[in-house]
Chains A and B, each alone.
Chain A
Amino acid sequence: MQMPDPSAAILSRKSSVVRRLQGVLDDDSVIHEENELRAYECDALTAYKCPPLAAVLPRTTEEVAAVLAICHEEGVPVVPRGAGTSLAGGSLPSADSVILGVARMNEVIETSYDDRFIRVQTGRTNLSVTGAVEEDGFFYAPDPSSQLACAIAGNIAMNSGGAHCLKYGVTTNNLLGVTLVQMDGTVVEIGGAHMDAGGLDLLGLVCGSEGQLGVVTEATLRILPKPEGARPVLIGFSSNEVAGQCVSDIIKAGVLPVAIEFMDRPCIRATEAFAGAGYPDCEALLIVEVEGSDAEIDEQLGVIGQIARGHDPVEIRESQSAEESARIWLGRKSAFGAMGQINDYMCLDGTIPVTELPKVLGRIRELSDQYGLDVANVFHAGDGNMHPLILFNANEEGQLEKCEAMGADILRLCVEVGGCLTGEHGVGIEKRDLMETQFAPDDLEAQMRVKDVFDPKWLLNPAKVFPLSVTEPRRAIAAE
């Protein structure tokens, strides 16, 4: 993975930049010793590492604004960082950049059940947002699998999804307002506790912009009353095709489950060996979860069961108790851990039209044979968000490159059948150089014009999202 050469001029000014940052923050909020900077050299895409020039951990919007204003004046790139759980390298630093971490900003600012929102500082973790309101019967809907660790700041930057977004949508559908600090230190309030932010939809633009338009320090999030109950059913099939058809038929029948998860045989076997959830040994299985009162759940599961039986399932296991529900989810939730036990893996998240599922799974199998690398599939089937896990051995020369090449082929396939490169992880550096397979030059130009407006000097997270060759002229101007 190519990154731009760091600016020698900035590297040589490290001590003066650090001194200026120390002038606006507590000493313990400015990290500049080499050994301490190691903690910020990568995020969850650990294949790529580079310690930053410095890292800062401000506590308030004012401090963030002060830091950004200094970096803007100094011409130093800034890489925003939530909890560092990005799988796409969204917070990978460059040697001449300052990491701006929001980890110390985790207060709840306001909660209103009458207006059904919570306002938080964005360093707060996803799960602890729900934690702040669940005793009163509410929850925050987007639930990325890293929700225990990941921060709202990162969720907003990447427009994170989760298993339950078929019903509840992703981050952008649950975000009401933000405080955004632009690269020059300008503080902008967008939206608020009212449901429609007025004017152009800047909120929609900021969400998913991968920390390239500004640093979001506070966010107003929609919270929802918890449903009375939820219950999953597990359905095993003898082929991927049939399972895929069943997903389509469930959706067509007018039931809207909160989640439809799909696992293929390699994934089922691996998770069984790891977690022992008692899954049937079959080609494909679905976990379908519905919500409501007991009677409502029974009715919906009745409809789903009837459809599934029409597809000659290997097994249908409807949960009868909380313990059984937990066991049904156990395998799915341990899938990534299970794969990690076997081998190193690379997790992709391209999205495809649900109707293309069988075809794409077939092609992935062919690619797997061609490259000689195993692939396990576990994904959100209801919305077509795939998660192929390519297994490889990082210690073996050339395997990472081979795995990346195969990953790129799978993502090209996703685009080819009408889907996209990334459904919830973001582009970061990982999919940056594939953007031209999905977008024409004019499409990319339109997006980059937005960055020109928010960050004319291209200092915020500049080497991400767009292919380096495409952003080169803009970054060159910034470097002058």
Chain B
Amino acid sequence: MGYAAAKGGFDAIRSAEELVRRHRLEARSSWLEIDQIIERLGYAVDRVMGEGALWDPESSAIAFRQAEGDVVEAAHLVRAYRSTLPRLGYAELVDADEIDVLRRIVPAFREPPGPQLLGRTPDYTGRLLERSPEDESRRQAALAAAEAGDAAAAALADDGRATDGSPTDADTAGSGLEPARVPGRLMDVLRSMDLLVDRRRDDDPAAADISRVPARPGAPRSARLSAMARAETGALVQLWYRNILGPDRNIHEVTLGEVRHGRLPVRAEHPHLGRPVTVGHVRVTEVEAIEDLDGNDEDRSRFDVGYGLCLGHNEKKAIAMANLDIALHRDLALGDDAGPLEQSVLMTTDGLDASGFLEHLKLPHYVTFRSMVERKRAMAPAPVEPEATATEAKAVGASSEVPVG
């Protein structure tokens, strides 16, 4: 009976695990080190941290290696690890204006207040496969490492990512902008131009903790933003594009006001001092999306803004999130005429939910399938042959009455 066999189940699992383990340990290439993953596969580590909802580059790198490069699987490992840890407290709210930017662009203006800082991005680099010989690449890397002076600097110079989110030489080198890394915000400019609807409110003061209270339709905006912040990147991009080109049509193109990648402090109340202390930093991607209001009941003379923020460097996710945030706000403002977008965002974008449920189809289903076969036979018209009819009638009639209640 194959993989569901009585005693074979446990043996089969052990064998499968042995195959996994053996491939990991006995592959002929050299062992993949954690610092290599953090430094050289940074976008993957950032996605694992974002979707795993835990700022911990080392755990995420370990998870990514253990998952053999499957980001959702790695996020699962990180979240299951989270489940073993007690929730000791909440960080203080941090003003996003404290951000120390590594990159900041404002597509809405040519010369916005504060810097346009392209930073580290492949946006304007031709997507050409670099087929340079491996030996040559290694030689250049070694040369660069030597030039950088010491090995530690060489390791970080790769992309300016420090594992603890702290600034590195590479972050600040050559920009000439060290003191001005905390730019103003375009929203303030729009507000001063009286071009922005004011929908600041005080009924959602602290971020909802969706890991303790499930985010369901009717949840506060902070819960929606939290759900999107840890959603699967591809799911948000797909939902965004579905609304652009698909049947849902909740979104039109926004103009991006802010696209930032930078560091934010994390502060928690000190248990003895009783005042907030900075316990570390996280890198985040932050996006503000300016929406042109064109609804009948909307203020046509002003803009509104959607907001996106996620752990790590993941601009696709933050942009989709900001656009979906404002689309959700506008849709929910329709009251009873609101569509299913809120439910789609809250219920269908979590990577662990979606892929876990999809993959559960691989589990044995023969009990339920037998029940389905039984109903098919009960529905089938009785055959004409006398003998077959008798058998079939028995099968149908055999679904006997059961006293209930």
A interacts with B: no
